[in-house]
Structure 1
Amino acid sequence: MDNVIAAPLLTKAGILFSVTVEFKQYQCLVPATTLCDLSHSKDPKLDLLDTYRAFQSKIEGVARRLIGAGLEGKPLVIGSGYFQ
């Protein structure tokens, strides 16, 4: 399973992470801009990884719903519009 990311990974584009849906691993990316949008609603002083951790359950829930709805991508990019 080379799609498994053991822990959220900070990249130039944002945070790369894996979620499991129906026993299958999917790579997802929450862009830095999306994380910045999320942090403004909680604490603008958080760095990207801290923001991801603060919103991890929400971000991963959105990822699972999008995958369940049939959205695809390698990785699946989860933009700000999915959190409104």
Structure 2
Amino acid sequence: MMDNVLAAPRLTNAGVLFSVVVEYQQYQCLVPGATLADLSHSKDPKLDLLDTYHAFQTKIEGVARRLIGAGVAGKPLLIGSGYFH
């Protein structure tokens, strides 16, 4: 039986690793620390990377789903700053 519970986003040396589901399939994604730092400057530069991820989670996961839907590949899918401008 497939476990359909998504793991909580977690901080890695490269950034925050998280999962999204698109068309019943789970995808691993990574938003690099530099991207999170760029995002935090537009909201609160005092946030740490995981806090920044949570502050922008809806936006980050929306970008991830759109990239997956457009056929962008990656394991994990890398979500750089350019997707937020």
TM range (shorter): over 0.9
* Structure 1 match to 2:77: 76
Structure 1 residue runs of 4+, over 2 Å off?
Answer: none
Q: Any conservation in 2 of the 1:5–1:27 contact (CA below 8 Å)?
A: no
Q: Equivalents in 2 of 1:18, 1:11: separation in Å?
A: 14
User: What 5-or-longer segments of structure 2 have no aligned partner?
Assistant: none
Q: Distance in 2 between matches of 1:71 and 1:6?
A: 22
Q: Could you say which structure has the larger radius of gyration?
A: 2
**Alignment RMSD:** 1.4
Amino acid at match of 2:75: K
In structure 2, the partner of 1:36 is 37
Q: What is the CA distance between 1:43 and its match in structure 2?
A: 0.3
Q: CA deviation at 1:29?
A: 0.1
Q: 8 Å contact 1:29–1:78 — kept in the other structure?
A: yes
Q: How many residues align?
A: 83
Which residue identity does 1:77 align to in structure 2? L
- 1:1-84 equivalences under 5 Å are 5-84=6-85
Q: TM-score, normalised by structure 1?
A: 0.95
In the superposition, the TM-score normalised over structure 2's length comes to 0.94
1:14-62 deviations in whole A, cap 9, x for unaligned? 0000000000000000000000000000000000000000000000000
User: How much does 1:5 deviate?
Assistant: 4.9
2-side partners of 1:61 and 1:7: how far apart?
Answer: 17
Structure 1: tracts of 5 or more residues without a match? none
Q: In percent, how many aligned pairs have the same letter?
A: 81
